[in-house]
Amino acid sequence: MVEETTATEPLDFIRRQVEEDLRTGYFDGVVMTRFPPEPNGYLHIGHVKAICVDFGIAEDYGGACNLRFDDTNPVKEETEYVESMIEDIHWLGFEWKELLYASDYFDQLYEWAVQLIKEGKAYVDDLSPDEIREYRGTLTEPGKNSPYRDRTVAENLDLFERMKNGEFPEESRVLRAKIDMASPIINLRDPVMYRILHTPHHRIGDKWCIYPMYDWAHGQSDSIEGITYSLCSLEYVNHRPLYDWFLDQLGIHHPRQIEFARLELTYTLTSKRRLRRLVEEGYVNGWDDPRMPTIRGMRRRGYTAAAMRNLITLTGISTANSTVDFGLVEYAVREDLNRVTPRGMAVLRPLRLTITNYPDDQEEWFDIPTYPQDKENPATHQAPFSKEIAIEQEDFMEDAPSKFFRLAPGREVRLLGAYLVTCTGVVKDEAGQVVEILCTYDPATRGGNAVDGRKVKGTIHWVGARHGVPAELRLYDRLFSQEDPEAVEEGQDFTANLNPHSLELLDNALVEPFVADAANGSHFQFMRQGYFCRDADSTPAKPVFNLTVNLKDTWAKVSGG
RNA sequence: UGCGGUGUCGCCAAGUGGUAAGGCAGCGGGCUUUGAACCCGCCAUUCCUAGGUUCGAAUCCUAGCACCGCAGCCA
Closest CA to A290 of A423, A479, A114, A457: A479
* Parallel, antiparallel or unpaired: strands A412-415 and A420-428: antiparallel
- What pLDDT was estimated at residue A4? 39
pLDDT band at A491 (very low <50, low <70, confident <90, very high): confident
- What pLDDT was estimated at residue A7? 53
In this complex, the answer to whether residue A326 has its CB under 7 A from any atom of chain B, a nucleic strand, is no
Mean pLDDT value of segment A503-519? 96
Is the Cβ–Cβ distance between A461 and A527 less than 8 Å? yes
Mean pLDDT value of segment A58-82? 97
Task: Tell me which residues from 452 to 481 on chain A have a beta carbon below 7 angstroms from nucleic acid strand B.
Answer: 455, 458-460
For nucleotide B14, the protein residue with its alpha carbon nearest to C1' is A10
Task: Tell me which residues from 383 to 402 on chain A have a beta carbon below 7 angstroms from nucleic acid strand B.
Answer: none
pLDDT band at A113 (very low <50, low <70, confident <90, very high): very high
In this complex, the answer to whether residue A404 has its CB under 7 A from any atom of chain B, a nucleic strand, is yes
* Parallel, antiparallel or unpaired: strands A459-460 and A412-415: parallel
How do residues A398-428 score in pLDDT, each as one tens digit? 999 999 999 999 999 999 999 999 999 999 9
Mean pLDDT value of segment A97-108? 98
Catalytic residue list of A: 38, 262, 272
In this complex, the answer to whether residue A135 has its CB under 7 A from any atom of chain B, a nucleic strand, is no
The pTM (predicted TM-score) of the whole model is 0.96
Q: How far is CA A552 from CA A246, A335, A476, A477, A528, in A?
A: 54, 12, 15, 14, 9
CA–CA separation, A493 and A327 (whole Å): 25
In this complex, the answer to whether residue A234 has its CB under 7 A from any atom of chain B, a nucleic strand, is yes
Residue A84, C-beta contacts closer than 8 angstroms, at least 6 positions apart: A42, A43, A296
Residue A362 has pLDDT above 50, yes or no: yes
- Our measurement of CA A10 to C1' B54, in angstroms, reads 29
pLDDT band at A103 (very low <50, low <70, confident <90, very high): very high
- What pLDDT was estimated at residue A1? 34
pLDDT band at A92 (very low <50, low <70, confident <90, very high): very high
Contacts 24+ apart (CB under 8 A), A161-164: A163/A124, A163/A194, A163/A196, A163/A209, A163/A210, A164/A110, A164/A208, A164/A209, A164/A210
Residue A3 has pLDDT above 70, yes or no: no
Q: What is the mean pLDDT of chain A?
A: 96
